[in-house]
Amino acid sequence: MILKRLELDFFRNYVHAEVELSPSVNVIWGENAQGKTNLLEAAGFLSSCRSHRARYDRELIQFGVEHAFLKGEVAAHQREFTLEARLHRGERRQLFSNGVKLKTAGELGEVFNTILFCPEDLSLIREGANQRRRFLDDAICQLRPKYAAALAEYKRLYEQKTRILRDWEEKPSLLDTLDDFNLRMAQVGAVVIHYRAHFVRRMSQLAPPIQSDFSGGREELGLRYETVSTVTDPEAPPKAILEQLLEHQQSHRRAELESRQCLSGPHKDDLAVEVDGRSARQFASQGQTRTAALSLKLACRELFREDTGEWPVLLLDDVLSELDARRQTFVLERINGGQVLITCCEEDKSVPVSGRRFRVRDGSVTA
Ligand code: ATP
Ligand code: MG
């Protein structure tokens, strides 16, 4: 899939911008704080309605303005799509595909997918499990609308159960509903686990060869899905997982009531990442950390391609400057095939890539 054209109004520091992109590599360069990352963020937003650094739409709207508009012309599945997002302060966003209003953000993912790699992604390896869960969730949600629905329901149930556990001593009648919540959470949780396990298995086939190539054959990457301890085979059909989740809930019931916290379920899952058999989180060097994070993202890109038949658009924010020449060349060769948007600062604007170059200066883009 190709993002042919991007148009922004009042998005971050862009008052108005129109960019005609190359179907291959697009280098976006400029000084700090000019709007390079904002441009990638906008492209990413059109694929998932999620931003890697904003929690709320209002952060994306230009300071002092009430609305922001994003428009992308995308070629995918032998068709042309015009995707639009209209963001409003204090009101729900509206999404359109070829003028037709979309009901959910997930529908964008059926047309347009992006994979973003940015400096913050080092936290994927370095930090707690929630970063890695988010990585799994973002990717699977883009590919599987059923997963997105299950995950959203799980999150709602989790919040309700957390409230019950928090308040039950003051309001014991709340406990009457606990069993119902537990059962539904186990049902939905089993679906979540099943999808995550399949995704991790495929990632564990795709990512290690990338890490190995990246490191000249020296580094071996390992990925393992960690979920609720009673689940013996997370890839089993959800029905089989359900029984094991109920068993875990049962044995943690007292502890949950006493600690007033939800202790059982896939909301604590992790994706264990190892380099040469050791936990990357604890032992990987900076270079290994960066390589592992990038390998995960590039593997994800290949998985999307296997699933949808098309390369997702790759958004690389500030990665080249961090890599030595050999690794730069490796990345640029590896991504050969789909469309890429790469940002870099002024000094490394000479990176050896073909395609189109754009200069970003104070919220305006020139080819
Ligand atoms: P760097 O090279 O440092 O990463 P960059 O070119 O990627 O810089 P961006 O992150 O794109 O810079 O940000 C550009 C500018 O956008 C920043 O000065 C920031 O203050 C501004 N900005 C962020 N959000 C908004 C907003 N909602 N309205 C207006 N300006 C904003
Ligand atoms: Mg930036």
Query: What string of pLDDT tens digits covers the 367 residues of the chain?
Result: 999 999 999 999 999 999 999 999 899 999 999 999 999 999 999 998 889 899 999 999 999 999 999 999 999 999 999 999 999 999 999 999 999 999 988 889 889 999 999 988 999 999 999 999 999 999 998 889 899 899 999 999 999 999 999 999 999 999 999 999 999 999 999 999 999 999 999 999 999 999 999 888 999 999 999 999 999 999 999 999 999 999 999 999 999 999 999 999 999 999 999 999 999 999 999 888 988 999 999 999 999 999 999 999 999 998 877 777 777 778 877 777 899 999 988 766 555 567 899 999 999 999 8
Distance of alpha carbon 79 from alpha carbon 74, whole angstroms: 8
pLDDT at 151: 95
pLDDT at 327: 76
Q: Which atom of ligand 1 is nearest to the CA of 360?
A: 6
Q: How many Å lie between the centroid of ligand 1 and the Cα of residue 154?
A: 34
pLDDT at 353: 63
pLDDT at 352: 57
Cβ(37) – ligand 1 distance below 6 Å: yes
Q: Which atom of ligand 1 is nearest to the CA of 34?
A: 6
pLDDT at 78: 95
Phi-psi region at 49: left, alpha or beta (left = phi > 0; alpha = psi -120 to 50):
left
- Residue 75: strand pairing partners: 2, 80
Cβ(62) – ligand 1 distance below 6 Å: yes
The neighbour count for residue 293, using CB atoms within 10 Å, is 25
Q: Between the CA atoms of 180, 182, 183 and 184, what dihedral angle is there, to the nearest 10 degrees?
A: 80
pLDDT at 129: 96
Question: Whose C-alpha lies nearest to ligand 1, atom 30?
Answer: 13
pLDDT at 321: 72
Q: Which atom of ligand 1 is nearest to the CA of 35?
A: 11
The neighbour count for residue 352, using CB atoms within 10 Å, is 8
pLDDT at 347: 63
**Residue 32: both structure tokens together:** 């700090």
**Residue 291: both structure tokens together:** 């390589």
- Residue 88: strand pairing partners: 67, 91
Task: Choose which residue among 38, 69, 89 to substitute to test ligand 1 binding: the one with the highest number of ligand atoms within 8 A of its C-beta.
Answer: 38
Element (DSSP H or E) covering residue 163: helix 145-167
Question: Whose C-alpha lies nearest to ligand 1, atom 19?
Answer: 33
pLDDT at 106: 83
pLDDT at 351: 59
Burial code (b: 16+ CB inside 10 Å, e: under 16) for 65-84 equals eeebbbbbbbbbeeeebebb
Cβ(301) – ligand 1 distance below 6 Å: no
Task: Please answer whether residues 51 and 60 qualify as being in contact, where contact means their C-beta atoms are separated by less than 8 angstroms.
Answer: yes
Q: Which ligand is nearest to the CA of 36?
A: 1
Going by the DSSP 8-state scheme, the letter that residue 61 receives in this structure is B
Question: Whose C-alpha lies nearest to ligand 1, atom 17?
Answer: 33
Q: Which ligand is nearest to the CA of 31?
A: 1
Cβ(51) – ligand 1 distance below 6 Å: no
